[in-house]
Amino acid sequence: MDTSERNEKIELYGRGFELLKAALAEVPAEAMKFKPEPKEWSVHEIIIHIADSETNAALRARKLIVEPGGMLMGYDQDKWANELNYHEQNIEDALDATRLARKTTYELLKHQPEEVFSHSIIHPEYTDPYTFDQWVNIYSAHIPGHIEQIQNNIKIWRKSR
């Protein structure tokens, strides 16, 4: 990935929380815990997942900056959703965690020298080294991908009424 493409993705990453809040403004309160299918997540669960994922992503970015070649922790997102009882967790707290993780990491990314983005690390879910550019690709698209999921949930919820 060249510098220009990376910078565009970092800017998208920086707008992620604002995009999420705009999408959530369109979700009726009574649709928050609707699950399109038993094994699919509700909007509520998606929000809690995003907070867990974004706090992990913030740590991963720091590890990539400071400790290239080190090892990352993996996690089973579906198991986290079930075992941590996502429907029992507070949405506002999760949104605060997401906002702060995104804001602080975005500011950190904007001030990194170019060579930092060539760093890689060992990720338990990948056979090849996990590069900082992979991190940028994954997390710049993370919230937009879940916004699509949220919008799809609401579309299905409306049709089921």
Reply yes or no on whether the pLDDT at 122 is more than 90: yes
- pTM greater than 0.85: yes
Residues sharing a CB contact under 8 Å with residue 62, sequence separation 6 or more, in sequence order: 105, 108
- Which amino acid is located at 160 in the chain? S
Token digits for 5?
A: 């493409």
Is 91 exposed, middle or buried, given 0-12, 13-18 or 19+ CB atoms closer than 10 A?
middle
| Short-list 145, 136, 147, CA closest to 14 | 136
Task: Work out the mean pLDDT of the chain and round it to a whole number.
Answer: 95
> Mean per-residue pLDDT for 141-152?
98
Neighbours of 107 (CB within 10 A): 10
| Short-list 151, 153, 135, 126, CA closest to 54 | 135
**What fold, for 3-26+40-160?**
Four Helix Bundle (Hemerythrin (Met), subunit A) (1.20.120)
pLDDT in tens, 36-55: 999 999 999 999 999 999 99
φ, ψ of residue 131 to 5 degrees: the values are: -90, 160
In the chain, domain spans: 3-26+40-160
pLDDT of residue 161: 82
113 in helix, strand or coil? coil
CA distance 131 to 86: 30
End-to-end CA distance of the chain: 45
Which letter does DSSP use for residue 73 in this model? P
